[in-house]
């Protein structure tokens, strides 16, 4: 698990070199342009130092070089050049900000809420509520507003956008967009407690038609399970305190403390990226969430093997 996390974190950091949206490209270009300016300054300063060392090194019997007490021209030049560099960096940064971080839209397309240790995504225009898997249509900038249910978190999708803090009670916003369909890794980049490292999410960019399809499928309530095992699982779910933390549309469960589970089986990952979403991993999760994700804010219910089988059968129907 630790190695997985290190691998993913390194991958996330390296992904800033692979921008996949106009916003990320603008920032990447600013990084390159500033690096060129810094490299030129470094070369000139280091070159001058090396030249002075060689040219003016002490030789036997040589007199001291000419001593300069003050020179107005040189002083003006060495003040003007740094000022010009700062002005140039300011102009480049202002241009980048206008592309990568324009003012918020009047009504956000998405509201993203950080929780210890997972992400909730609400689409106010359609009413979809998702968790840890955020779908967006390609080629369209989506305005996201951020909030937090508890502590500070930070939302970061290195290939698509800048980092942005999720601050309890203080809305922040960014724009997010992807050039091409694909899956983009997101991480929490502000330490937020025990499982900060496992607060991953996926941005899934798809064609507008596929996105619309996803949105309408997410809006459907959970269908009533047909199999006996799954029906028992639903009954167990509804009778247990699961419903005081989770929501499954179409059942009595409507709480927002934990991830929405209405379409749980349609998601790729479980526990905000800690494991793949497979029946086996779900079984492990329900047996004891703390074994899978120590510190996770879900208690161990000490279910019997039979009960876990019923719950798994039910959750696998929640496509």
Residues that bind ligand HEC (CB under 6 A): 117-118, 131-132, 195, 237, 240-242, 244-246, 257-259, 261, 264, 267, 270-272, 285-286, 293, 296-299, 301, 311, 315
Of 147 and 316, the one with the shorter C-beta distance to Cu ion is 147
**Cβ at position 257, least distance to ligand HEC in Å:** 5
Q: How many CB atoms lie within 10 A of CB 190?
A: 19
Cα dist. 149→162, 192, 212, 257, 313 in Å?
21, 12, 28, 9, 31
Measured between alpha carbons, how far is 15 from 296 in angstroms, rounded to an integer? 28
From the list ligand HEC, Cu ion, none, partner contacted by residue 131 (C-beta under 5 to 8 A by kind)? ligand HEC
Of 79 and 241, the one with the shorter C-beta distance to ligand HEC is 241
Of 19 and 259, the one with the shorter C-beta distance to ligand HEC is 259
**Cβ at position 167, least distance to Cu ion in Å:** 12
φ/ψ of residue 19, rounded to 5? -65, 140
From the list ligand HEC, Cu ion, none, partner contacted by residue 272 (C-beta under 5 to 8 A by kind)? ligand HEC
The strand ranges marked E within 159-236 are 164-166, 172-176, 182-188, 201-206
**Cβ at position 240, least distance to ligand HEC in Å:** 4
From the list Cu ion, ligand HEC, none, partner contacted by residue 245 (C-beta under 5 to 8 A by kind)? ligand HEC
Of 1 and 49, the one with the shorter C-beta distance to Cu ion is 1
Of 130 and 141, the one with the shorter C-beta distance to ligand HEC is 130
From the list Cu ion, ligand HEC, none, partner contacted by residue 237 (C-beta under 5 to 8 A by kind)? ligand HEC
Q: Which residues have C-beta within 8 Å of that of residue 21, sequence separation ≥ 6? A: 159, 160, 161, 176, 177, 178, 179
Write out the residues near Cu ion by the rule CB under 5 A: 153, 188, 192, 199
From the list ligand HEC, Cu ion, none, partner contacted by residue 275 (C-beta under 5 to 8 A by kind)? none
**Cβ at position 189, least distance to Cu ion in Å:** 8
Of 18 and 276, the one with the shorter C-beta distance to ligand HEC is 276
- Scanning the structure block, which residue is given the tokens 């998601």? 267
From the list ligand HEC, Cu ion, none, partner contacted by residue 192 (C-beta under 5 to 8 A by kind)? Cu ion
**Cβ at position 272, least distance to ligand HEC in Å:** 4
Of 184 and 214, the one with the shorter C-beta distance to Cu ion is 184
CA atoms within 13 A on the CB side of 9: 13
Q: Which residues have C-beta within 8 Å of that of residue 307, sequence separation ≥ 6? A: 236
Of 57 and 302, the one with the shorter C-beta distance to ligand HEC is 302
Burial class (CB in 10 A: 0-12, 13-18, 19+), 181: middle
**Cβ at position 145, least distance to Cu ion in Å:** 17
Q: Which helix (H) or strand (E) holds 156?
A: strand 153-156
From the list Cu ion, ligand HEC, none, partner contacted by residue 188 (C-beta under 5 to 8 A by kind)? Cu ion
**Which pair of tokens denotes residue 96?**
């980048």
From the DSSP assignment, how many helices (H) and strands (E) are in the chain? 8, 12
Measured between alpha carbons, how far is 60 from 166 in angstroms, rounded to an integer? 66
Ramachandran sector of residue 132 (left: φ over 0; alpha: ψ -120 to 50; beta: rest)? left
From the list Cu ion, ligand HEC, none, partner contacted by residue 287 (C-beta under 5 to 8 A by kind)? none
């Amino acid at each position: 698990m630790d190695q997985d996390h290190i691998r993913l974190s390194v991958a996330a950091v390296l992904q800033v070199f692979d921008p996949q949206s106009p916003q990320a490209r603008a920032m990447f270009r600013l990084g390159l342009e500033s690096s060129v300016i810094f490299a030129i300054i470094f070369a000139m300063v280091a070159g001058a130092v090396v030249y002075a060392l060689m040219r003016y090194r002490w030789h036997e019997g040589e007199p001291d070089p000419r001593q300069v007490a003050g020179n107005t021209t040189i002083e003006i030049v060495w003040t003007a050049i740094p000022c010009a560099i700062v002005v140039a960096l300011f102009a480049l940064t202002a241009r980048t900000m206008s592309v990568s971080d324009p003012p918020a839209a009047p009504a956000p397309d998405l509201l993203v809420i950080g929780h210890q240790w997972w992400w909730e995504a609400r689409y106010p225009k359609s009413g979809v509520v998702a968790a840890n898997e955020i779908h967006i249509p390609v080629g369209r900038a989506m305005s996201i507003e951020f909030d937090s249910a508890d502590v500070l978190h930070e939302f970061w999708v290195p290939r698509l956008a800048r980092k942005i803090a999720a601050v309890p009670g203080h809305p922040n916003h960014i724009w997010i967009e992807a050039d091409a369909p694909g899956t983009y890794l997101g991480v929490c980049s502000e330490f937020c407690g025990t499982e900060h490292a496992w607060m991953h999410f996926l941005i899934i960019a798809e064609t507008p038609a596929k996105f619309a399809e996803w949105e309408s499928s997410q809006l459907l309530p959970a269908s009533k399970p047909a199999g006996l095992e799954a029906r028992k699982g639903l009954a167990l779910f509804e009778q247990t305190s699961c419903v005081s933390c989770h929501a499954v549309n179409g059942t009595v469960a409507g709480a927002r403390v934990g991830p929405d589970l209405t379409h749980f089986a349609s998601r790729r990952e479980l526990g905000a990226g800690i494991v793949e979403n497979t029946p086996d991993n779900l079984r492990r999760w329900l047996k004891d969430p703390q074994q899978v994700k120590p510190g996770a804010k879900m208690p161990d219910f000490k279910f019997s093997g039979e009960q876990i089988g019923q719950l798994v059968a039910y959750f696998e129907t929640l496509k």
